[in-house]
Amino acid sequence: MEAAIIALLLADARVKAIAGDRVHFVRAPQGLPRPYGLLTMVSGTEDYTMQGASGLGSARLQIDGYGETYKSARDLAEAILAVLSGFRGERSGVTFKGIFIDSRRDLPASDSGDVTPLFRRSTDIIIWFS
């Protein structure tokens, strides 16, 4: 599913205009120019029936837009959400049944309490897929 999400985002002109190809899962390469997007799988489940796995799955994905300014972080996060929110369709062999925004928040770019010039907009989405 991760490759399908990245393909969906990098095919969007607005995301490309803001971040180029700087959208990654889990960790950004060191020294990556900003703004960039980071996606993290928070949790995932598979659906089962009495006969076994149904083929339907769900995932909570955290999307973080990082930037030198609050506006650049927010603009990237909003561009990503414009692509994903409500999306239904197929990409890279994955059928997305629905993608929904769960929560949004603004956070410091570092969770360790370090002072950093980075800004971060974070959003959780719920994805249903097969």
What one-character DSSP code corresponds to residue 28?
P
Are 79 and 16 spatial neighbours (Cβ–Cβ below 8 Å)?
A: no
Assess whether pLDDT exceeds 70 at residue 116. Answer: no
Assess whether pLDDT exceeds 90 at residue 64. Answer: yes
pTM attached to this predicted model: 0.88
CA pair distance 3, 121, nearest whole angstrom: 22
Averaged pLDDT of the chain: 92
Are 129 and 1 spatial neighbours (Cβ–Cβ below 8 Å)?
A: yes
Residues composing the chain: 130
Assess whether pLDDT exceeds 90 at residue 114. Answer: no
- HSE value, Cβ hemisphere, 13 Å, CA-based, for 92: 11
How high is the pLDDT of residue 113? Answer: 60
Among 76, 83, 119, 113, CA closest to 101: 83
Assess whether pLDDT exceeds 90 at residue 81. Answer: yes
Report the amino acid identity of residue 66: Y
Q: How confident is the model at residue 85 (pLDDT cuts 50, 70, 90)?
A: very high
